[in-house]
């Protein structure tokens, strides 16, 4: 795809910025003072900073070890990234944030937390053992121009987890879950497994179910009967840990750029892939709405928190028995939650997890807590009612503008061929037995294989010397390569962009497919020695200098 090509263009940026600026303004003016006043950051989550509002939409990829997280990311960004390792055993032991950068570089966790331009400053409290396992890889990748992606260490089964990680893994996941736009949770259809660490990690996602997309990966490795069983088991287990399993969308697929195994549900996999990629593609468009949602969610939690803290303060005796009263209050917290709900009409869903709150309260001196400050609460109510409502027309305006943009999807080759695939490796690898080719324009690298490709070409009965997209697609899909890869090959091969292939272009397509099946990378753009002779620009002699 170059996935990027389907994302909003900078034309809408003005409005996006307007809404973002307004969100920042609301946060700093209305929310932050209350957060500070009631020590919200200590209990729940660090304060937002500019970078939290300004950063690109982020996708968190998580799941049990070896479910194909790193492979999935490589597939999304259509190239390999520094430090990535793929293998059957637990391989990734780092959180890696993949972000756009002019040049490829790796920034270690400790440096990231001091960079105000990065949205990672307040990861600091997770300590050194985490920061040593956190890094950012910047690279000039087209997909990363629109989104950032976070690769996470695989979640281990109890048997594999001999050593603890040395940092609060679920808490780190929660930190990311709060800030990202999408959480992609991978399962292996072949080896479905629910460990205790996994269940604990789910706790970290509590309240962010709306961002979650579940993937049942490697679905081509099992037959339909096994797939049905795996799907059923997955839904059952998810139902036990999530409050609203029915809204969870599960995508069945095999997300990598290798040929798939032929199976009864092959077509389903293609459709699901299309759906999930469309979802990811739409993230930049929905990013502002997501930020608004998260701000509202946070404001509601802040409101509940302010009521809890001030209630506790009010119940504390001034002089005697402070400790015993404190313990009593902590014990009664569920009842207190109930009271606040009724007295102040705070919805039950706005409250934090009671057990976690009890744990946090243990170490606190309640007498230092603050009482309810009406002016702050009024400001918060204003945020939740009028201020947010004022932003809606801005969002709609933005929505309208988007629709008027010419859809880049138009004119794209065939419905399902929306993605193309490119890799960074030097293309000469593909023509490995052509080492002698010293960029000689007279010699087309595909020429010597052309007769065998011609045979296929003429067998497909071209009309007026050309094959239509539909016919070529039919033939291409017999290779079982994912559509994303085939669409990229199509883009490279249809040199004159007329939506059809002549015999030279077809030979080129077939040559690229063969190279891919042999395990070589595809080039991003067509190198000149692969451009068919009839499509070569005019002879070099009249090229201007």
Ligand X SMILES: Nc1ncnc2c1ncn2[C@@H]1O[C@H](COP(=O)(O)OP(=O)(O)OP(=O)(O)O)[C@@H](O)[C@H]1O
Residues that bind ligand X (CB under 6 A): 65-71, 86-88, 90-92, 154, 217-218, 221, 254-256
Residue-by-residue DSSP string for 472-486: HHHHHHTT---HHHH
Residue closest to 75 by CA, chosen among 416, 483, 415, 430: 483
**Residue 86 or 526 with smaller CB distance to ligand X:** 86
Residue closest to 11 by CA, chosen among 402, 397, 408: 402
The partner residues of 252 in beta bridges, in order of sequence, read: 216
Say which entry of Ca ion, ligand X, none residue 67 contacts (CB below 5 to 8 A, set by partner kind): ligand X
**Residue 187 or 337 with smaller CB distance to ligand X:** 187
Say which entry of ligand X, Ca ion, none residue 43 contacts (CB below 5 to 8 A, set by partner kind): none
Say which entry of ligand X, Ca ion, none residue 254 contacts (CB below 5 to 8 A, set by partner kind): ligand X
- Shortest distance, CB of residue 199 to Ca ion, whole angstroms? 20
User: What's the rounded Cα separation, in Å, for the pair 201 and 176?
Assistant: 12
CA atoms within 13 Å, Cβ hemisphere of 441? 9
- Shortest distance, CB of residue 151 to Ca ion, whole angstroms? 6
**Residue 66 or 138 with smaller CB distance to ligand X:** 66
Instruction: Identify residues 66-125 at the interface with Ca ion (CB under 5 A).
Output: 69-70, 92
Q: What is the residue whose two structure tokens read 């049905």? A: 228
Q: Coil, strand or helix: which one is 441?
A: coil
**Residue 35 or 197 with smaller CB distance to ligand X:** 197
Question: Does 64 engage in binding with Ca ion (CB under 5 A)?
Answer: no
- Shortest distance, CB of residue 536 to ligand X, whole angstroms? 39
**Residue 70 or 148 with smaller CB distance to Ca ion:** 70
The two structure tokens encoding residue 281 = 């593609």
- Shortest distance, CB of residue 107 to ligand X, whole angstroms? 20
The Cα angle at residue 280 between residues 229 and 289, in degrees rounded to 5: 115
- Shortest distance, CB of residue 154 to ligand X, whole angstroms? 2
User: What's the rounded Cα separation, in Å, for the pair 98 and 477?
Assistant: 31
Say which entry of Ca ion, ligand X, none residue 90 contacts (CB below 5 to 8 A, set by partner kind): ligand X
**Residue 273 or 494 with smaller CB distance to ligand X:** 273
User: What's the rounded Cα separation, in Å, for the pair 65 and 198?
Assistant: 10
H or E element at residue 147: none
**Residue 109 or 154 with smaller CB distance to ligand X:** 154
Q: Give Cα separations from 173 to 45, 154, 294 (angstroms).
A: 12, 12, 16
Say which entry of Ca ion, ligand X, none residue 256 contacts (CB below 5 to 8 A, set by partner kind): ligand X
Instruction: Identify residues 350-409 at the interface with Ca ion (CB under 5 A).
Output: none
Say which entry of Ca ion, ligand X, none residue 87 contacts (CB below 5 to 8 A, set by partner kind): ligand X
Taking the CA atoms of 153, 157, 158 and 162 in sequence, report the sign of the dihedral they define: negative
Three-class secondary structure assignment of 364-384: CCHHHCCCCCHHHHHHHHHHH
**Closest residue to ligand X in the complex (CB):** 154
Number of residues near Ca ion (by CB under 5 A): 3
- Shortest distance, CB of residue 61 to ligand X, whole angstroms? 8
- Shortest distance, CB of residue 393 to ligand X, whole angstroms? 43
Residue closest to 428 by CA, chosen among 520, 328, 538, 333: 520
**Residue 87 or 537 with smaller CB distance to ligand X:** 87
- Shortest distance, CB of residue 62 to Ca ion, whole angstroms? 10
Cβ 181 vs Cβ 290: under 8 Å:
yes
Name 479's Cβ contacts closer than 8 Å, sequence gap at least 6: 259, 486, 513, 517
Part of the chain binding Ca ion (CB under 5 A), chosen from 61-69, 405-413, 478-486, 524-532: 61-69
**Residue 24 or 69 with smaller CB distance to Ca ion:** 69
Say which entry of Ca ion, ligand X, none residue 257 contacts (CB below 5 to 8 A, set by partner kind): none
Helices (H), 494-536: 503-517
Say which entry of ligand X, Ca ion, none residue 65 contacts (CB below 5 to 8 A, set by partner kind): ligand X
**Residue 266 or 449 with smaller CB distance to ligand X:** 266
Cβ 417 vs Cβ 487: under 8 Å:
yes
- Shortest distance, CB of residue 69 to Ca ion, whole angstroms? 5
Say which entry of ligand X, Ca ion, none residue 322 contacts (CB below 5 to 8 A, set by partner kind): none
List of E strands, 212-354: 212-217, 249-252
**Residue 215 or 308 with smaller CB distance to ligand X:** 215
- Shortest distance, CB of residue 218 to ligand X, whole angstroms? 4
- Shortest distance, CB of residue 530 to ligand X, whole angstroms? 29
How many other CB atoms sit within 10 Å of the CB of residue 329?
A: 18
Say which entry of Ca ion, ligand X, none residue 142 contacts (CB below 5 to 8 A, set by partner kind): none
Cβ 49 vs Cβ 116: under 8 Å:
yes
The site for Ca ion (CB under 5 A) is made up of 69-70, 92
């Amino acid at each position: 795809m170059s996935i990027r090509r389907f994302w909003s263009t900078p034309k809408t940026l003005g409005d996006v910025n307007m809404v973002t600026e307004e969100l920042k303004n609301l946060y700093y003016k209305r929310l932050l003072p209350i957060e500070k006043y009631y020590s919200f950051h200590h209990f729940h989550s660090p304060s937002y900073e500019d970078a939290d509002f300004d950063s690109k939409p982020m996708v968190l990829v998580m799941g049990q070890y070896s479910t194909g997280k790193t492979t999935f990311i490589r597939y999304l960004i259509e190239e390999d990234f520094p430090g990535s390792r793929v293998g059957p055993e637990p391989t990734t032991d780092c959180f890696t944030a993949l972000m756009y950068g002019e040049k490829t570089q790796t920034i270690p966790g400790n440096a990231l937390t001091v960079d105000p331009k990065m949205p990672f400053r307040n990861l600091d409290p997770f300590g050194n053992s985490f920061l040593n396992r956190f890094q950012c890889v910047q690279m000039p990748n087209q997909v990363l121009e629109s989104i950032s992606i976070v690769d996470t260490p695989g979640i281990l089964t109890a048997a594999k987890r001999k050593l603890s990680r040395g940092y609060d893994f679920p808490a780190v996941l929660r930190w990311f879950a709060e800030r990202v736009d999408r959480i992609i949770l991978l399962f292996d259809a072949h080896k479905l497994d629910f460990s205790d660490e996994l269940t604990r990690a789910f706790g970290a996602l509590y309240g962010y179910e709306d961002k979650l997309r579940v993937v049942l990966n490697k679905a081509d490795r099992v037959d339909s009967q096994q797939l049905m069983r795996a799907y059923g088991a997955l839904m059952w287990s998810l139902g036990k840990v999530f409050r609203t399993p029915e809204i969870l969308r599960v995508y069945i697929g095999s997300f990598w750029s290798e040929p798939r195994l032929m199976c009864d549900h092959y077509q389903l996999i293609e459709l699901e892939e299309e759906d999930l990629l469309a979802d990811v593609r739409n993230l930049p468009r929905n990013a502002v709405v997501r930020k608004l949602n998260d701000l509202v969610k946070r404001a509601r939690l802040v409101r509940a928190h302010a009521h809890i803290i001030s209630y506790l303060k009010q119940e504390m005796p001034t002089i005697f028995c402070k400790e015993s009263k404190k313990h009593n209050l902590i014990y009664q917290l569920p009842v207190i939650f109930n009271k606040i709900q009724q007295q102040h009409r705070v919805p039950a869903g706005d409250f934090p997890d009671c057990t976690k709150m009890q744990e946090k309260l243990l170490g606190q001196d309640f007498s230092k807590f603050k009482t309810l400050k009406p002016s702050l609460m009024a400001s918060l109510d204003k945020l939740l009612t009028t201020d947010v409502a004022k932003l809606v027309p801005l969002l709609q305006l933005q929505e309208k503008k988007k629709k008027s943009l010419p859809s880049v999807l138009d004119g794209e080759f065939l419905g399902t061929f929306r993605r193309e695939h490119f890799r960074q490796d030097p293309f000469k690898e593909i023509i490995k037995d052509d080492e002698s080719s010293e960029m000689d324009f007279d010699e087309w690298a595909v020429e010597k294989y052309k007769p065998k490709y011609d045979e296929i070409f003429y067998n497909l009965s071209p009309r007026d010397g050309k094959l239509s997209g539909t016919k070529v697609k039919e033939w291409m899909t017999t290779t079982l390569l994912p559509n994303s890869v085939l669409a990229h090959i199509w883009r490279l091969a249809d040199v004159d962009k007329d939506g059809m292939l002549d015999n030279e272009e077809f030979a080129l397509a077939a040559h690229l497919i063969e190279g891919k099946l042999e395990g070589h990378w595809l080039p991003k753009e067509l190198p000149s020695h692969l451009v068919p002779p009839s499509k070569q620009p005019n002879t070099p002699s009249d090229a201007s200098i």
